Structure 1
Amino acid sequence: MKSNQVILAGSILLTLAGTCSANNNINTPQKNDAWYKEAQRQIAKAKANKPIDKQAKNVILFVGDGMSIGTITASRIFEGQRQGMSGEEYRLNMETLPHLALSKTYNTDAQTPDSAGTASAMVSGVKTKQGIISIDDNVQRGFCNTGKGHEVKTAWEMAAEKGMSAGVVSTARITHATPATTYAHSADRNWENDASMPNIAKNQGCTDIAQQLVQFNKGKGLQVVFGGGRREFIPNTTTDPEGKKGKRKDGRNLIQEWKQRYPDGQYVYDKTGFDKLSKNTTRAFGLFESSHMKYEADRDKNNEPSIAEMTSKAIDILSKNHNGYILMVEGGRIDHAHHATNAYRAFTETIAFDEAIKTALDKTNPQETLIIVTADHAHTMIMNGYSDRGNPILGLSKKNGQFNKDEFGKRYTTIGYGNGIAAVNGPRNNPTQKEVLDPDYHQQALIKFSSETHSGEDVAIFAKGPEAFLFQGAVEQNYIFHVINEALHLTN
């Protein structure tokens, strides 16, 4: 380089240095703005958050069944408005977890997935087909013999083999697809009891899901089971304490068999029995409904525990094991409310689920417990139009205080569905505000189905605790198992 070029380069560097120095004194008139200051606080908080890179003692996997990202957004607004805010600024407990990723939810044979294949991926580390419970992709749904030899070992089975405690909590039937993946292997998610299975499957040696729950871990069992689904465990000739008949045709009462198999355990079926579970309880089996548990909006607080209460009790029981524990908590009825295009119940279920997450955060040490919050799949729920900030999330869309209208002059809600029961063959209705704010209202939908469908969008993963920082970017859903494995060292 020639001498004059060196001088010129030096002048440029000095100029740049001077510019950088000057930039330190740039006037930022917005620095006293509340939004600006809050973002600065969040930056400081993020900088202080350090990855926890060590083995976990415990893992809790929260699965909001059908809890799409849109559901999280709308539920956030819904709860914020219930607390007297505009709503948009509110923050759910799950949203405070520092590590985040997106989960790709497709099944190996389906762009839009179901809960069996998606939950199997999360608990086993491999993706599989729709309708399959913890068997790999080399299986044909409904054909028992095709699943033989292709069963995958789940994190719950691995943990139990290591001497850890294992538990499952759900507001759905405990034999339903998502919770069943932790302890069962089935070529069809619908084989919840023996009567639902074809004879050929039984003759080929397949057993129903309820029976597999009782026999989990070579008969050593799950330490905690809380949920619905009592009917799957008792004969169709037997009436349960709430007057509902069972489904089984084999004459077996699996609840009685569980009691005999686990004399150290306590079986309960209502809130009274649940509340009496003592601090010395080391094994509990609670079936609080014949089928699914009641929606949170309809729950009799004197008769059924909430998902937060079940989570709290599960942690108390499981924590007694010095080897640690693994627990799934499913908010199963978020999904059911979406299928019914009933946004009110979908949101109240999500908030109840979020309270269970808060319970877990309060009762555990982030240095030893990995908490993961995610969903198995999304739904077709959307947020429409250009509503003013603070407009009731369940209400009609408004702008500048006036109802927004479509090209035909009709009002519409902020929340809608791509398909569902409320679609019409012809011109749609022109709803009133009173009508749409009713908790029993079914949001309007585009395509008519008796039950709204899932959708194929990615879902969120929130995480906190040991190895939670491994959730980065967009990942395949089976990656969740591998983070659990990294945290618990389940495999070599």
Structure 2
Amino acid sequence: MNRTWKVACTAVALAVSASLHAAVLPEHQSNSAWFTDAQAKLSTKLQTNNQFKAKNVILFVGDGMGISTLTSARIHKGQLAGNPGEEGYLSFESFPHTALVKTYNVDAQTPDSAGTMTAMMSGLKTDVGVIGVDEDIERGNCSTVAGNEVITALELAEIKGLSTGIISTARITHATPAATYAKSADRNWEDISDMPEAAVTAGCSDIADQLVNFETYLEARYTGVDVDGIDVAMGGGRRHFLPKDAAFNSPDAVSDVEGDRTDERDLTAEWQTMYENGVYVYDQAGFDAIDTESVERVFGLFNESHMQYEADRGNDIAGEPSIAEMTETAINILDNNENGFFLMVESGRIDHAHHAGNAAGALTDTLAFEEAVMAAVENTDPSETLILVTADHGHVFTIAGYPKRGNPILGKVVNVGSDDAATAADGTPYTTLGYTNGLGFRNLGDETDSDATYALENAAGRVDITNIDTTTPGYHQEALIPLSSETHSGEDIALHAKGPGSQLAQGVIEQNVVFHLINQALGLVNE
């Protein structure tokens, strides 16, 4: 048999085999909900359009939202709705395109938020702890900043004439939001009181100052550039914008002296003077009064430090908007610009709850983050808006044991075929969720502030939880290695994409590729 004939016969045999396979597929298999659901999802993806250019881009960053957090939150969401949980999806997990993202920094196997967000914003990786600069920087050395600054997607969007916005449930000067607009040799230089005298003398500016004077700094760096400044900035961190003087306290100040600044500057007043058409708000009432059709820009600082955890938001003195409310309001302001917009939305408190070893808090904030993504989907045109949902890194957060289907994700492990909690070799039960390191076990009951753990001594190691309800908001999972705070992890995280250009989110990518996806969609850099 010659080779051509052999190949032809093989092809016919394969076709016949495939036909026979399809013909004999059992009806109970082809009619299975699992089977038909998967088939329908694939068909939807095959119908995705091939448009690559977008008018708007929204980048969502769930800080610390690793794969295990997504899985746990997905199950938790389903169980809150009365379902087993495993079969469900977070809204953005149904986006048509997904990639895995490598998160390491230039000098670190396990990264921090400063280096990871700088990568996503600038298109190149850099070191741990530095913002808006490349790897040639020396952390903490002001003199190494000049000449090593990088331009960000937000800055390029400003230059192109797009509207821009930043939202975070952390301090707006914290690493992730700061990496959209600031250049700093140290992520901790949030206001002048955080800076060493040598850095101040050398002429480096604190991060809060760089936010308020963003327009001035950007125009000074690039000759001929004329921008109108960031249109929407909302988050926490008032203390970094106010003088260290009780006379400047906000009505919902927690500290006796709310402000930290030692240069006597009130940056909120400076911003208001600079932008007479702008609105500065600090509480829920001020936020609710924003007229998105007429206001040109908004500066919102809703807490002295980070905004409240979602579970604890009702306890805020003057009230705080949710991340979904901030997202919807920002979009309704930014889309008044016919040229389009770029918006970054960070859920910073997912990360903080994990650092505190409190899975309930992290999952609650993840579900609030999901609502923000849905607010964006519902308030934008899918044919002109690229939505990217990702994280900056993960945490040492695990889903372990062999719990049966539908077992409470925050509960103790109950094995398949049993109604009783499984026990470890030491004879005591254990939870499905846990942490490799951190402060360890807490049984704080209905406490919704994850940070309450820091007032207590380290309790890492095994504890007999036989008579403890592990599903309460204040339960903090056991941890193996005692540390003052749980740490980040080094594994890949997910990127989910929807809209024009989302087709390029595929495979395993370096984190700095996120910038290039944004650039491809908006055409920010002339090539």
- TM class by smaller structure: over 0.9
Between 1:344-353 and 1:37-46, the stretch displaced more is: 37-46
- In structure 2, the CA distance between the partners of 1:417 and 1:23, relative to structure 1 (3 Å rule), is closer
Structural RMSD (CA): 2.0
8 Å CA contact 2:140, 2:186 repeated in 1: yes
Structure 2 unaligned segments of length 5 or more: list them: 218-227, 442-457
Give a deviation string over 1:339-362, Cα, whole Å, max 9, x none: 000000000000000000000001
Q: Cα offset for 1:241?
A: 2.1
Aligned residue number for residue 301 of structure 2: 287
Assess if the C-alpha contact under 8 Å between 1:160 and 1:217 holds in 2: no
Match of 2:84 in 1: 86
1:339 is aligned to 355
Indicate how the Cα distance of structure 1 residues 258 and 32 shifts in structure 2: closer, same or farther if over 3 A, else same.
same
1:296-343 Cα offsets, whole Å, 9 max, x none, are: 001128711000000000000100111111010000000000000000
Write the distance in 1 (CA, Å) between the matches of 2:25 and 2:347.
49
Cross-structure match for 1:43: 42
Structure 2 matches for 1:232-381, cutoff 5 A? 232-237=240-245, 238-243=248-253, 244=255, 245-278=258-291, 279-300=293-314, 303-381=319-397
SS at match of 1:213: helix
- What TM-score do the two structures reach when normalised by structure 1? 0.96
Distance 1:442 1:231 in 2: 29
What is the alpha-carbon distance in structure 1 between the residues aligned to residue 279 and residue 461 of structure 2?
56
1:33 pairs with 2:1: no
Q: Which letter maps to 1:227? A: G
Deviations 1:342-400 (A, max 9, x none): 00000000000000000000111121111000000000000110001100000100012
- Distance (whole Å) between structure 1 residues aligned to residue 122 and residue 322 of structure 2: 28
Alignment of structure 1 residues 449-460 onto 2, 5 Å: 449-460=483-494
Post-superposition Cα deviations, 1:395-442, rounded to whole Å, max 9, x if no partner, equal: 100012121111111110000000010167796211136431221111
Secondary structure (helix, strand or coil) at the match of 2:180 reads coil
1:37 to partner: Cα distance? 1.9
2:100 matched residue in structure 1? 102
Maintained 8 Å contact 1:157/1:217: no
Tell me, in whole angstroms, the C-alpha distance in 1 between the residues paired with 2:152 and 2:303. 27
Amino acid at match of 1:294: Q
Q: Does 1:432 find its partner at 2:446?
A: no
**C-alpha contact 2:157 2:342 (8 A) present in aligned 1:** yes
Deviations 1:161-217 (A, max 9, x none): 111111100000000000000111100000000000011111111000000001113
Structure 1: tracts of 5 or more residues without a match: none
Identical aligned pairs, as a percentage? Answer: 52
- The corresponding residue for 1:71 is 69
Contact 2:460 2:481 in 1 (8 A): no
* Mapped partners of 1:183, 1:290: distance in 2: 21
1:186 to 184, 187, 205: 184
Equivalent residue number for residue 159 of structure 1: 157
Task: Pick one of 233, 236, 242 that aligns with 1:228.
Answer: 236
Q: 1:26 Cα deviation (Å)?
A: 2.2
Aligned partner of residue 286 in structure 2, secondary structure? helix
Matched, 1:408 2:418: no
Whole-angstrom distance in 2 between the partners of 1:338 and 1:6:
61
**What amino acid maps onto 2:47 in structure 1?**
A
User: In 2 relative to 1, CA 426–272 (structure 1 residues): closer, same or farther, beyond 3 Å?
Assistant: closer
Determine the C-alpha separation between the residues in 1 that align with 2:86 and 2:465: 24
- Counterpart of 2:444 in structure 1 is none
CA contact (8 A) 2:461 2:479 kept: no
Is the contact made by 2:192 and 2:262 (CA closer than 8 Å) also made in structure 1? yes
Whether the 8 Å contact between 2:163 and 2:231 is mirrored in structure 1 is yes
Aligned counterparts of 2:6 and 2:492: Cα–Cα separation in 1: 53
Query: CA separation in 1, counterparts of 2:309 and 2:281?
Result: 20
CA contact (8 A) 2:103 2:111 kept: yes
Q: CA deviation at 1:11?
A: 7.3
Measure the CA separation in 2 of the matches of 1:8 and 1:257. Answer: 81
Distance 2:460 2:340 in 1: 58
- Structure 2: how far apart are the matches of 1:383 and 1:193? 39
Number of equivalences? 489
Q: Displacement, 1:51?
A: 3.3
TM-score of the superposed pair, with normalisation by structure 2: 0.89
Residue 504 of structure 2, aligned match among 470, 479, 483 = 470
